[in-house]
A and B are shown apart, each in its own frame.
Chain A
Amino acid sequence: MSASVLSVKDLTVSVRMDDSPRTLIDHVSFDLAKGEILGLVGESGSGKSLLCRTLVRLMPSSLITIDAGTVVLAGRDLTRISDAEMLEVRGGEIGMIFQNPTSHLDPVMRIGDQIAEGIRYHQKIGAAQAREAAVEILTQVGFPDPIRQYDSYPHEFSGGMRQRAMIGVALSCDPKILIADEPTTALDVTIQAQILALLMDIRDKRGLSIILITHDLGIVAQTCDRIAVMQGGRLLEQGPKRQILARPQDPYTINLINSHPSMPDQATGPAARDENPRPITKPLLEIDDLHVDFRSGGSLFKAGAKTVKAVSGVSLQVMPGETIGIVGESGSGKSTLARAILGLTEISSGHVTFDGIDVGQQRTAGLAKLRRETAMVFQDPYNALNPRMTIGQTLAEVLAVQGKVARLAIPGRVGELLDLVGLDREFAQRKPRSMSGGQCQRAGIARALAVDPKMIIADECVAALDVTIQAQIIALFRELTLKMNLTLLFIAHDLAIVRNLCERVVVMYRGEVVEEGRSDEVFARPKHEYTAALIAAIPDIDPDRPLLGQKASGSVQSILPELPVKRMPS
């Protein structure tokens, strides 16, 4: 861990558009030592991905050019060598893995062949030998049956296994450096923990240097040796992990650390509301033995349709004004549950009673009531808003259709709603594509509030946002639930967020509720082993509280079977 493998000095990258160059990477310098894991932290748009693409000269556009600086790898300046030499470096010296393994693996090529291809290209060996080497790599990255799985296609694997395969492809040519660009962002926490453990394991075995790009400081705290913080194309600070986490110098880093959801959040925590117990009333929402099945396969002429039980036997009572977190991994049925409650998905059996009306029995009356008194906030803020309408039009339409506000009062109410969610009133004129993710999500919340609902269901509404924005949206929800006595069903895969926002938490696994209780109790003393595993898998920002309690990578797998790939029926 002494000599540096890669040395970047004053790297400056800019893009030329409309004749005026704009600097994207501003004089970035850092060294990567052998066997070191460097965590590159920053929010979306900070330039961290571009920086790493620049190292291998794979800039996303030909308008982006390196203006100054050097990238020295084994005595060679990568910014100066020819394109032919660069081909040797990519894969051979520097391997890359990406956020979304699904789109970076060739869907019509066998997993094993994708690994063998690189080996044959770089090491110039025969097909049979390459196959052996590929099987060996599949074993190393944790495929249980590599000889058979060599011949499988990417779609046959879960997200976690695909990411393992991607790591296998990157490792195929025995690179010195591995660049991992948000490798676990698309994965569930328990799978994330496995992949991170795998990366560390590979580092230990091969002496590989890894640049780990992430927006999650928890991951960095758990895996990296050194941290570099980026914002707006500049490297704000870098240093050993413990030093940065314990004594951050830059205000941005301090903010980043404070917004991490695993930070205990005292003053405004949900416990504050429990001081004055609310009078016992009728529950606003009652779910009784709810089942939702989807038919998959089969058709008009072909029997043998299988039913997939997305939700099986869920019962839940929600009191007015309560804030409930529903937690589970992808495929656990939490989104289906949300849609079933709102009458957006057919119920197979069981009852949903909202404010005294059984939605299954009195369908028309129940749906009418649900539409007027509940609203939903979605995961992807851009996809949830009609791209051709301005925010003002979107809000005004809801108000007009709901008819709760007099027609003349609508423009004024639109302004009030924007104030409520902390958006400038000028956003009424904007369309979603000219807004950031956080702003769009605020607009989505404003649309939900336009209904003047008793209950809001938020489905993974912060999963697509940066941590500091996440913290803002959570704070907004907290403020709104207090101010307007809203009932909130908050669906998330991130336990840490739920802990800070919700009084009660419901843990779902494979369509069933495995645990339910007050947030602090569930977190302190989880009763079900799945909940315990889920909590243990959260990367804590404190490096002294290691992932999963220990470094053994095999243990999680034994607790948790691989979940099937998520396929949300529409």
Chain B
Amino acid sequence: MSAGLALPAAPAWRRFAGRRLTLVVGIAILTFFLFLSVAGPLVAPYDPIFQDAAARLQPPSLAHLLGTDNFGRDILSRVIWGAQIDLQIAVIGVLFPFLIGTTVGTIAGFFGGIIDAVFMRLVDIILAFPFLVLMLSIIAILGPGLGSFYIAMALVGWVSYARLIRAQMLVLKGSDYAVAAVSLGFSRTRIMFRHLLPNAIAGSIVFSMSDATLVLLSGAAVSYLGLGVQPPVAEWGVMVAEGQSFITTAWWIALFPGLSIVCLAFGFSMLGDALGELLGVHE
């Protein structure tokens, strides 16, 4: 065997293990945050909104592992309580756009013609505005709060899913098994949802994972701007916003909630990668 030929290929088991690793890490991170959001009240050492005037701006110590903020609230407890809200933001903020976008994309792609044209122009209109600007205007109209954020997210976020699914449907509806289904007398609803959608949806599921990261960050951004979760509720975005003015003197206030956002986002993207492999999106 020549030297040039023996390319140092990764052994099969290591590639397999590597693939498994992303799945395991992704699930582990998400389970950890899920645990925090469920058991948060039990494991958090302090009340997240209790203000201890004597312990203001304390650096991390044994009493306050992640330090305290300018109101003397324990950062660790607030981060733990925040998991509940941020996980909720990620899940609900993805679920509704996913459902709306998938339905619209399926119908537009399958029927084509005027239905497709109308929906796709709507998509173009929404995409013509910068994402956050549109979000903020909708929230501003509805009034600040988490509910408004979810509604804004559903109104704006579905477009990516609609486009993804529509493109897949356009390809799949020309496939032989779709033609076969028509020739066998299957109803349109059956062909759309039972035959084509399951084959079209894998890419969207994977995308929804990276979208969860995006939603989480926009949730944090909206809260940071004071339009989402309202103080004193512990939410990571709000905490980062509050810690901003102390960043040079009390770095821990903004750092730990920020790290939590990064961690949760990382978990979602790991799971997204692993799902992509499992569902055969990259094949």
Chain A residues at the B interface, C-beta cutoff of 8 Å: 16-19, 57, 61-63, 65-67, 79-83, 86, 339, 342, 344, 368, 371-372, 374-376, 378-380, 383-389, 397-398, 401-402, 444, 447, 451, 570
- Give the residues from 155 to 204 in chain B that come closer than 8 angstroms, CB to CB, to chain A: 173-177, 179-187, 190, 194-195, 198-199
The interface of chain B, by Cβ under 8 A from chain A, is 1-7, 9, 11-13, 173-177, 179-187, 190, 194-195, 198-199
Q: Which 7 A-B residue pairings sit nearest by Cβ, starting from the closest?
A: A371-B185, A83-B4, A570-B174, A384-B176, A62-B9, A62-B7, A378-B176
Q: Are A81 and B2 in contact (CB under 8 A)?
A: yes
A63 touches B4 (CB 8 A): no
Whether the Cβ atoms of B180 and A376 lie closer than 8 Å is yes
For A67, list chain B residues within 8 Å (CB): 1
Asked if A379 and B176 sit within 8 Å, CB to CB, the answer is yes
Given A378-B176, A386-B177, answer yes or no on A66-B183 (Cβ-Cβ < 8 Å): no
A12 to B265, CA, bound (A): 49
The residue that A386 contacts in the complex, of B5, B13, B174, B199, with Cβ under 8 A, is: B199
Contact call A374/B9, Cβ cutoff below 8 A: no
Query: For the complex, what is the distance from the CA of A81 to the CA of B6, rounded to whole Å?
Result: 13
A66 and B179 in contact, given A19-B13, A447-B184 (Cβ under 8 angstroms): no
Min CB distance A495 to B, Å, is 24
User: Shortest distance in angstroms between A100's beta carbon and chain B's nearest beta carbon?
Assistant: 19
Chain B neighbourhood of A17, CB < 8 A: 12
Report the Cα distance A339→B174, complex, angstroms.
13
The answer to whether B179 touches A344, judged by C-beta atoms less than 8 angstroms apart, is yes
Q: Are A378 and B185 in contact (CB under 8 A)?
A: no
B169 vs chain A, min Cβ distance (A): 12
How far is the CB of A217 from the nearest CB of chain B, in Å? 29
Chain B's closest residue to A432 (CB) is: B177
Q: Which residues of B contact A57 (CB under 8 A)?
A: 5
Which among A63, A65, A81, A401 is the interface contact of B185 at CB below 8 angstroms? A401
B280 CB → nearest A CB, Å:
9
Query: Among the listed A82, A371, A380, A383, which residue makes an inter-chain contact with B4, where contact means beta carbons less than 8 Å apart?
Result: A82
- State A376–B184 Cα separation when bound (angstroms): 8
Contacts of A451 in B (CB 8 A): 184-185
Known: A378-B176, A401-B184. A16 touches B12 (CB 8 A): yes
Q: Is the CB of A19 within 8 A of B11?
A: yes
B184 adjacent to A371 (CB under 8 Å)? yes
Other A-B contacts than A61-B9, A371-B185, 17 sampled, CB-CB below 8 A, are A19-B12, A63-B9, A82-B2, A82-B4, A342-B183, A375-B184, A376-B179, A376-B180, A380-B176, A383-B177, A386-B181, A386-B199, A388-B198, A388-B199, A401-B187, A402-B185, A570-B173
Whether the pair A344, B182 counts as a contact (CB closer than 8 A) is yes
Residues of B within 8 A of A380 (CB): 176
- For chain A, what secondary structure do more than half of its interface residues adopt (helix, strand, loop), or is it mixed? loop
Contacts of A378 in B (CB 8 A): 176, 179-180
Q: How far is B181's CA from A444's CA once the two chains are assembled, in angstroms?
A: 12
Q: Which residues of A contact B194 (CB under 8 A)?
A: 397
Contacts of B13 in A (CB 8 A): 18-19
Cβ B184 vs Cβ A402 within 8 A:
yes
A65 touches B177 (CB 8 A): no
Report the Cα distance A105→B195, complex, angstroms. Answer: 35
Residues of B within 8 A of A384 (CB): 176-177, 180
B1 & A65 in contact (Cβ 8 Å cutoff): yes
Give the residues in chain A near B187, CB-CB below 8 Å. 401
The reply to whether A383 and B5 form a contact with Cβ atoms under 8 Å apart is no
| Cβ distance A3 to chain B, nearest Cβ, rounded Å | 26
- The residues of A that contact B174 with a CB separation of less than 8 Å are 570
| Cα-based distance from A376 to B11 in the complex (angstroms) | 45
Residue in B2, B11, B186 whose CB lies within 8 Å of A80: B2
Taking a contact as CB atoms closer than 8 A, the residue among A368, A385, A402 that contacts B177 in the complex is: A385
Greatest chain A CB density within 10 A among B2, B12, B174, B183 is at: B183
Chain B nearest CB from A464 CB (Å) reads 11
Q: How far is the CA of A65 from the CA of B195 in the complex (A)?
A: 41
Whether B2 and A401, one on each chain, are in contact in the complex, defined by CB atoms closer than 8 angstroms, is no
A80 to B3: give the CA distance in the assembly, Å. 8
Q: Chain A nearest CB: distance from B168 CB in Å? A: 13
| Chain A residues near B185 (CB-CB < 8 A) | 368, 371-372, 401-402, 451
Task: Report A45 CB to chain B, min CB distance, Å.
Answer: 19
Q: How far is the CA of A81 from the CA of B3 in the complex (A)?
A: 9
A-B contacts, 12 of them at CB < 8 A, read A62-B7, A62-B9, A67-B1, A79-B5, A82-B3, A86-B4, A371-B183, A372-B185, A375-B183, A397-B194, A398-B184, A447-B184
Given the known interface contacts A16-B12, A380-B176, A401-B190, the answer about A344 and B183 at a Cβ–Cβ threshold of 8 Å is: yes
Interchain CB contact (< 8 A) of A65 among B6, B12, B182, B184: B6
Report how far A375 CA is from B182 CA in the complex, Å.
10
- Give Cα A378 to B177, complex, Å: 9
Check B184–A63 contact: CB distance below 8 A: no
A493 to chain B, nearest CB (A): 17
Cα distance A82–B4 in the bound complex, in angstroms = 6
Give the CA-CA distance A388 to B178 in the complex, in Å.
Answer: 13
B6 and A386: CB pair below 8 A?
A: no
Residues of B within 8 A of A375 (CB): 183-184
**B11 CB to nearest chain A CB (Å):** 7
Q: Which residues of A contact B198 (CB under 8 A)?
A: 388
- Closest residue of chain A to B194 (Cβ to Cβ) is A397
